[in-house]
Structure 1
Amino acid sequence: MMKTPYRLAAAAALLPLLLACAAEPPDPFLVQTDAGPVQGFAPEGAVDVAAFLGIPFARAPEGDLRWRPPVAVEPWTEPLQAGEYRPICPQSRAQLPQSEDCLYLNVWTSAERAGEDAMPVMVWIHGGGFRAGNGRLGEAPATGRGVGLASRGVVVVSIQYRLAALGFFAHPALAAEAATSGEPEGSHGVLDMIAALEWVQRNASAFGGDPDRVTIFGVSAGGMAVNTLMSTPASAGLFHRAISESGYGTWRLPHLSEARWGLSSARDQGAALIAGAFDLGENPSAADLRALPVEELINLGTGFWVPITGTVLPDEPGVVFARGEQHDVPYITGGNSFEGTIFRAFAMAPGDYFATFGEREGQARALYGADGETDDDAERIAAATLFGDQRYVISARYLAEQMKTVSSPARTYYFRFVPEARREMFPGAPHGSEVAYAFGDTGDPDAERYPGPDGEALGDAMAGYWTRFAATGDPNGDRAPEWPEYDAENDTWMVLDAPEPKATPGVLKDKLDLLEAVYLERIGGE
């Protein structure tokens, strides 16, 4: 059929429009995940960043799914509006909306990623003693810390996981059920982390990320979670570098079914907690436990919750690392100069804590400046400093030492910076104070907590180390002070302080030698 001049003219008129449509880049704020499309947004004040908040990576672990491994979400077809955070996991004393329907993650990435090389992915695991905390990195619509790191050429993912009795609980009734189903028992919060990392493997490329360059990092309980994920076979291949900030790995953990390290089994502990709080009779069923109100479950126990060994986690991280059974990936670990800010939460008198060192009490007091000390405040600060070093800093050194059992290197840091305005308040860098600097989030110069130009420079240096490590497995480059690999002979740490980071041998050597000896006596006594 002969084309008329009208049709030819119409086709000619449409051609530029068709070419423009063909050349139009995809919407950077609409991403297709394996479960369905998600619609993100541009955070306020950010340049070239797209944020996606509240993406589900598992079904709500409530009702019959309470104390079960995470289950895949139901797919959807219409774009999921990802402009707001979802509820945090149930916890006591939290002011934010919370729900058992809390297995969500958040993503920050470049808004100009089309056609660019895949970026490294950094997965943040929050702290909070495994009984508190959430995946929020700033308030929407600004979402500061996620934006800050994403602006440095990485994809940032923050996750949530079940907490306290909902995430780290064992009981004989659940044991009987697991024996029949074959499902993992206890440490469901760790299973949530693994499910989130599996989601990252399936979906990182859709957000411009490289699934072969995933770094896990976290602080405190999140740092311990990193050590746990380094130690469990179930997370093999899901990440390729790890950063544990103040993560304990040499602290006692309960075993699922055995009394160890002076602790009763996790099942016995769970049975005692339930019997003391609820009137369910001598042998409550799993159904009885699942019928308990979440508002009361989250208040079970007075201490910190921890992962359970003998199940998802085969043993304490320190033991796993010493056997050479940890994942063979580059590893950064460290602690702060006054981790003892958390000491008060354990409600122990300073003298009672020193007494736990037995025949080594005198040595501990001498090393920490409490030998013959009669001043209550001085003894309290000494005990708190010792406590922080025993819980966090010796863990960093010991786990770094044990990386000699695999081929990948370890590096250690010691964060010592305290802004001038806070030096009368703290004798050293408090627990968790390094987090803002690791994210390069030192605040506006007009803000009340702005740490000054030295702090801002340190934040830039730390965020540079962290993101280069995520990219290559080596934090060095960009003319930053050289950060050597750790080996026990040189015992070199990167001291993170003003005016710039400095590689320093023998940080706290005599103190950590004592604490390592105490730890080795404990695990050798079993």
Structure 2
Amino acid sequence: MDTINVLNLTARNAPKILGFILRRRPRQLDGRWWSRNVPTHTRTTVAMTTRRRNALERMELGAVLAQYEMNLLRTLLVFSSIAVTLAACGADSSSSTIPDPTIATTTDGAVQGSSANGVIAYKGIPFAAPPVGSLRWRPPQPVSAWSGVRQATSFVHDCMQTSGTAPSALTVTPSEDCLYLNVWRPQRSNATAARNEKLPVMVWIYGGGYVGGGTSMPRFDGTQFAKQGVVIVTTNYRLGRFGFFGHPALTAAASQSGEVLGNYGYMDQIAALKWVQRNISNFGGDPGNVTVFGQSAGGESIHNLLTSPLATGLFQKAINESGNGRVNQYYGRTLTRNAKTVGASAEEQGALFAQGFGINGSDTSALQAMRALSADQIVDGLNSSTLNSPHSLATFSGGSIVDGKLVLDEPENLYKNGQFTKVPLMLGVNNADLGFSTPGISTKEQAYAIFGPQNLGAAAAAFDPSGTASVASIESQISRVITMDEPARFIARTFTSAGVPTYLYRFSYVAQSVREKISGATHGAEIPYVFDTLSSTYGTAVTSQDEQVAQRMIAYWAAFAKTGNPSDAGLTNWPAYDVALDSQMEFTPAGTLQVNQPSPLKAQIDLIEPLNDANKTVNRQYQ
């Protein structure tokens, strides 16, 4: 921890400390005066400045006071945790102790984490004010600073959601008061800390269809990343109607202020990234070497951060796991109705939702009435299983809203126009990933009809070369390629063509304990391998082969975060994507690493590409 940052004098408490010393100070402090007159908690915190002690031990108190006065008390003192430069004035060397490595300072106050197995974890650090009451459906607001040391040893709240598939793994109670993040960092030796070497930073954005998920999930534990020499941050963001919502009353209220509307969940992600820029150096991280990574809705979030002018400069690399990249979760969802709107606008959906509670109009009273609704009323049964119910489709935006300020358009349009942050990218999908089959398909001919009569033979050869596949399996594979495989190649080609280093992967491994039940790596199956948290999913059934795959994946991910090149992990060379070669790294079903050139799905992707390019599949990519 940087000693300058540790000197945390608040304007409220500094006069008391100075007054105490001015009334009592002798010309030179000695150990007996120190022990008699300085409170125990101050002596404890004073001992934390070991690295500065030798330089200060002959300094008289008057010189220190003069320094404080000349700086107009600009530094902050946090009780019981932060050392002052008086630390070693006349102190005997035997009284010095090693600074508490679990305490770190932020611009809002000091936090104390917990240390275990060479890693320090800080949990439940607020990065924005609780978005409740009048702050519901507002951009994230600053945190109120605190005095003393805030305990950061346990998760606080994940964001408000109802019971369902995703929230079942949460370890804390969801709440509307949820804007907290967590940090894991390696516990460094004093020598390493003294060199002030900054480590690469990774910021994780979870998935869950924008209606579920949270950082308390055990599979998102950052311990193993910290052991890889990375400072990792996991952050919450508002979900459901709390995070993605429009209403004419909100638009009217923001007409004078110009506040950004609609994508409050994305605003939270950006606020967390800004927190990282302000504070991560005090946790040993490098704010100039930040990698954002996310999966599913978190991956879609990455695409919208890459293409948003409001996120420019907040990260230097990105990793996208199963995040599509062509279109957002609900295509054509605009804040207000315009020529690009497909279906209802977010404002129209919000108005219909409010009407269900007897709230009409767009004036201040309507907004106050909506903010007076309980959190459970806002959730209104929304979760992953009800996301596509008629009521949810009519009253929830489904995620990203094209508002013209934060989200400018569908990702593919911005990528095609070169409107994106050109940073090194790693991305990929799973071999049994997400897809949305079309209801009513009962024959192979019906499944192939999407490709046109001229391509029926090519489709059969690509999707059923042996002629023995079932209609259901063919339709599922077509849907997966539409939603995941083709968009991943589209993104890889787009970034590579722009001169950006890009690395494509395919994850095909299935844990040995579940292979009899699961034939492929399903949506999200890679996460416990990426975080090396296999026991959170498979318990005691984890095998040595499973663990070897996890160790390889986390090593590649950490290497990319460090240098922008996963091959620096020292494993099988992972070549950058090449448009002509169509190269990708596969984590194979056998647990080995294999470079595919071209992708084994090239023929399938080639058939889907013109359909996705022409937006003929937008209603099949998610719905």
Distance across 2 between alignment mates of 1:388 and 1:484 = 25
* 2:463 aligned residue: 368
Q: CA deviation at 1:279?
A: 2.0
- The answer to which of 232-241 and 434-443 deviates more is 434-443
* 1:256 aligned residue: 335
Q: CA deviation at 1:194?
A: 0.2
Q: CA deviation at 1:156?
A: 1.0
* 1:479 aligned residue: 570
1:76 corresponds to which letter in structure 2?
A: W
The answer on whether the counterparts of 2:528 and 2:537 sit within 8 Å (CA) in structure 1 is no
The answer on whether the counterparts of 1:481 and 1:501 sit within 8 Å (CA) in structure 2 is yes
Structure 2: state its 5+ residue gaps.
Answer: 1-27, 36-56, 58-87, 389-397, 619-623
- The answer to which of 499-508 and 165-174 deviates more is 499-508
The answer on whether the counterparts of 2:333 and 2:342 sit within 8 Å (CA) in structure 1 is no
Q: CA deviation at 1:111?
A: 1.8
Which of 548, 551, 557 is residue 457 of structure 1 equivalent to? 548
Q: CA deviation at 1:516?
A: 1.7
Change (3 A) 1:350 1:136: farther
2:145 is aligned with 1:71: no
Which of 387, 390, 404 is residue 303 of structure 1 equivalent to? 387
The 5 Å alignment of 1:324-335 reads: 324-335=418-429
* 2:581 aligned residue: 490
Which of 607, 610, 623 is residue 514 of structure 1 equivalent to? 607
2:233 is aligned with 1:149: no
* 2:357 aligned residue: 278
2:315 is aligned with 1:239: yes
* 1:224 aligned residue: 300
Aligned residues: 503
* 1:288 aligned residue: 369
Return the TM-score normalized by structure 1: 0.87
Distance across 1 between alignment mates of 2:558 and 2:539 = 25
The 5 Å alignment of 1:202-217 reads: 202-217=278-293
The answer on whether the counterparts of 1:370 and 1:379 sit within 8 Å (CA) in structure 2 is no
Q: CA deviation at 1:261?
A: 7.0
The answer on whether the counterparts of 1:165 and 1:300 sit within 8 Å (CA) in structure 2 is no
The answer on whether the counterparts of 1:69 and 1:192 sit within 8 Å (CA) in structure 2 is yes
The answer on whether the counterparts of 2:504 and 2:583 sit within 8 Å (CA) in structure 1 is yes
Distance across 1 between alignment mates of 2:294 and 2:426 = 11
Q: CA deviation at 1:255?
A: 2.1
Q: CA deviation at 1:320?
A: 1.3
- Partner secondary structure for residue 250 of structure 2: helix
1:428 corresponds to which letter in structure 2?
A: G
Return the TM-score normalized by structure 2: 0.74
Q: CA deviation at 1:273?
A: 3.5
Distance across 2 between alignment mates of 1:89 and 1:309 = 23
Which of 468, 487, 501 is residue 559 of structure 2 equivalent to? 468
Q: Deviations over 1:177-224 (max 9, x none)?
A: 222220001111000000000000111111111111111111111111
Distance across 2 between alignment mates of 1:124 and 1:89 = 15
The answer on whether the counterparts of 2:262 and 2:403 sit within 8 Å (CA) in structure 1 is no
* 1:18 aligned residue: 92
The answer on whether the counterparts of 1:88 and 1:134 sit within 8 Å (CA) in structure 2 is yes
The answer on whether the counterparts of 2:447 and 2:474 sit within 8 Å (CA) in structure 1 is no
Structure 1: state its 5+ residue gaps.
Answer: none
Q: CA deviation at 1:234?
A: 0.6
The answer on whether the counterparts of 2:556 and 2:569 sit within 8 Å (CA) in structure 1 is no
Task: Tell me how large the CA RMSD over aligned residues is.
Answer: 3.3
Distance across 2 between alignment mates of 1:469 and 1:21 = 44
Q: CA deviation at 1:59?
A: 0.4
2:157 is aligned with 1:87: yes
2:256 is aligned with 1:180: yes
- Partner secondary structure for residue 567 of structure 2: coil
The answer on whether the counterparts of 1:273 and 1:300 sit within 8 Å (CA) in structure 2 is no
Distance across 2 between alignment mates of 1:336 and 1:401 = 19
The answer on whether the counterparts of 1:365 and 1:371 sit within 8 Å (CA) in structure 2 is no
Distance across 2 between alignment mates of 1:420 and 1:99 = 37
Q: Which has the larger radius of gyration?
A: 2
* 1:40 aligned residue: 113
2:474 is aligned with 1:382: yes
